[in-house]
């Protein structure tokens, strides 16, 4: 099916969801404000624009500010499209693409002209940030309405899956270019340029700040710098970087060694665990159980490699596995990289708690077809956490010489984007690497 047909189905699903959500929250109209640019304090420079994801789900215009969508059950959606007369910047072009035919579009030159096209009567719900308020239209973000829309946003439409697959393919090209640059001994900065060039992105329109980490830097989970100088020796390379397609993101991590057999064994161990965990992305599986199983599998790798002399079960119980794997196994993925409603108990609200002792897990729901999640196990050598372990009662279970040796490589993370189906999981990321 072509993207136009997929998008038409997508819109009819969104329309149904909005109708139900409005009925539940007791409103006649839903307004969605795209959002407005934000400025630096006492300055006329704006921050990179981040659009209201609700707006983006309806129209694939990540850079569109000051726009409005008006949704009224039984009527065609209305789009108020801001196209300023601006000679300082490139003004948005006239609305164009597979999506335009589905909207009644009103082009405005000034943000304040939007109110002429917004409903004047009835009970109006407005989703948007506070700054988007215009005349009497102040975003109120009704909780009942958001609970419903956010809960269901976890179930991707065919159009959304199409975009997510493409986002993985774009990123896969970048990952291959980055790996080649690493093998040539490039700096983090140069590797990042290679990634951006191969994906056609700049530093601002990537879905999240690229993590490009050589050697010990791989131990910093969200390492945020890129050294201009290449290190004397590039022993290891961890890259966590994605791409966007029509506003939908990929989120992919790969780790590479440079010939060291012990580090390669660690990569191989994490990868085997990762593939086994991806297999568990199935209808009815509680994601919390995948997270706990990740601890057991990664602890098994630590035991097999002689790093920790303790069974996986006792490593989990004593908190040792969390020293080496101190984050969640993954999260929902979509318009936001850490997509909303990871803890939602139902479409009427409520929250599914994290398992005790796992404060960083971002998804606790039971998987069902249409959900897209990441599976991203890792093992790291993080000074701060290792020092606590060394000072504690379980220090004797650890081979500290091996830990010190492997610390020069920082750590390993392998992350794929995976769709739950009625049957076997669809690994968007591995499919993308195979295709490019």
Residues near Mn ion (CB under 5 A) are 240, 251, 374, 415
In whole angstroms, how close is the CB of 433 to ligand GLY at the nearest point?
Answer: 17
In whole angstroms, how close is the CB of 298 to Mn ion at the nearest point?
Answer: 16
Residue 324 backbone dihedrals phi, psi, to 5 degrees? -95, -20
For 90, 137, 335, 340, 348, the CA distances from 56, given in Å and listed in that order, are 20, 20, 8, 14, 23
Residue closer to Mn ion (CB basis): 114 or 418: 418
Q: Is 339 in the site for ligand GLY (CB under 6 A)?
A: no
Rounded to whole angstroms, the Cα distance separating 181 from 71 reads 48
208 binds, among Mn ion, ligand GLY, none (CB under 5 to 8 A by kind): ligand GLY
Among 160, 166, 188, 251, binds ligand GLY (CB under 6 A): 251
Report 194-233 residues binding ligand GLY (CB under 6 A). Answer: 208
Q: Is 376 in the site for ligand GLY (CB under 6 A)?
A: yes
In whole angstroms, how close is the CB of 304 to ligand GLY at the nearest point?
Answer: 25
In whole angstroms, how close is the CB of 373 to ligand GLY at the nearest point?
Answer: 11
Work out whether strand 78-82 and strand 68-71 pair parallel, antiparallel, or are unpaired: antiparallel
Tell the residue number behind the tokens 């195979």, with chain if given. 434
Among 166, 216, 240, 417, binds ligand GLY (CB under 6 A): 240
The secondary structure of 402-413 as a DSSP string is HHHHHHTT-EEE
In whole angstroms, how close is the CB of 256 to ligand GLY at the nearest point?
Answer: 17
Residue closer to Mn ion (CB basis): 27 or 175: 175
Question: Which position's Cβ is nearest ligand GLY?
Answer: 240
Rounded to whole angstroms, the Cα distance separating 195 from 416 reads 17
Calculate the CA 370 to chain-centre distance. Answer: 16
- Positive or negative, the CA dihedral 182, 186, 190, 193 is negative
For 23, 116, 168, 333, the CA distances from 165, given in Å and listed in that order, are 33, 39, 5, 12
Angle at CA of residue 345, ends 340 and 348, nearest 5°: 90
In whole angstroms, how close is the CB of 355 to ligand GLY at the nearest point?
Answer: 19
In the beta sheet, which residues pair with residue 46? Answer: 39
Residue closer to ligand GLY (CB basis): 211 or 420: 211
Binding characters for ligand GLY, 152-191, by CB under 6 A (x = yes): ----------------------------------------
Cβ partners under 8 Å of residue 72, min gap 6: 28, 29, 30, 119
Tokens matching residue 230: 């290449």
216 binds, among ligand GLY, Mn ion, none (CB under 5 to 8 A by kind): none
- Positive or negative, the CA dihedral 100, 106, 108, 113 is negative
Angle at CA of residue 170, ends 169 and 175, nearest 5°: 90
Residue closer to ligand GLY (CB basis): 71 or 332: 332
In whole angstroms, how close is the CB of 251 to ligand GLY at the nearest point?
Answer: 5
Residue closer to ligand GLY (CB basis): 98 or 343: 343
In whole angstroms, how close is the CB of 240 to ligand GLY at the nearest point?
Answer: 5
Q: Is 417 in the site for ligand GLY (CB under 6 A)?
A: no
The residues binding ligand GLY (CB under 6 A) are: 208, 240, 251, 376, 415
């Amino acid at each position: 099916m072509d993207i136009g047909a997929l998008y038409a189905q997508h819109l009819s699903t969104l329309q149904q969801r909005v109708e139900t959500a409005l009925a539940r929250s007791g409103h006649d109209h839903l307004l969605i404000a795209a959002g407005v640019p934000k400025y630096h304090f006492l300055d006329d420079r704006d921050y990179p624009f981040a659009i209201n994801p609700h707006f983006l789900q309806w129209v694939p215009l990540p850079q569109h500010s000051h726009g409005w969508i008006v949704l009224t059950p039984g009527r065609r959606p209305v789009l108020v499209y801001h196209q300023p007369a601006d000679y300082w910047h490139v003004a948005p072009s006239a609305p164009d693409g597979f999506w335009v035919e589905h909207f009644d579009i009103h082009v405005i030159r000034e943000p304040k002209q939007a109110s002429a096209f917004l409903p004047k009567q009835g009970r109006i719900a407005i989703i948007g940030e506070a700054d988007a308020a215009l005349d009497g239209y102040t975003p109120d973000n009704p909780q009942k309405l958001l609970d419903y829309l956010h809960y269901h946003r976890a179930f991707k439409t065919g159009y959304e899956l199409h975009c997510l697959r493409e986002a993985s393919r774009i990123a896969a090209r970048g990952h291959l270019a980055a790996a080649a640059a690493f093998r040539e001994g490039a700096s983090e900065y140069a590797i990042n340029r290679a990634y951006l060039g191969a994906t056609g992105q700049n530093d601002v329109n990537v879905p999240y700040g690229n993590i490009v980490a050589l050697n010990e830097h791989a131990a910093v989970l969200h390492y945020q710098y890129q050294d201009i100088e290449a290190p004397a020796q590039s022993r290891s390379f961890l890259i966590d970087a994605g791409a966007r397609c029509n506003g939908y993101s990929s989120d992919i991590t790969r780790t590479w060694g440079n010939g060291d057999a012990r580090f390669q064994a660690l990569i191989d161990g994490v990868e085997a665990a990762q593939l086994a965990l991806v297999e568990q992305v199935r209808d009815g599986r509680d994601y919390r159980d995948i997270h706990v199983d990740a601890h057991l599998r990664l602890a098994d790798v630590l035991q097999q490699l002689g790093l920790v002399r303790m069974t996986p079960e006792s490593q989990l119980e004593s908190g040792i596995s969390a020293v080496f794997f101190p984050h969640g196994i993954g999260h929902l993925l979509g318009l936001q990289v850490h997509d909303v409603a990871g803890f939602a108990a139902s479409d009427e609200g409520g929250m599914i708690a994290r398992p005790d002792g796992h404060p960083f897990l971002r998804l606790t729901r039971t998987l069902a077809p249409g959900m897209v999640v990441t599976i991203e196990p890792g093992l790291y050598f993080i000074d701060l956490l290792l020092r606590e372990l060394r000072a504690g009662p379980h220090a004797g279970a650890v081979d500290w010489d091996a830990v010190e040796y492997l610390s020069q490589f920082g750590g390993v993370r392998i992350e794929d984007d995976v769709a739950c189906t009625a049957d076997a999981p669809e690994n968007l990321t591995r499919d993308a690497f195979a295709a490019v």
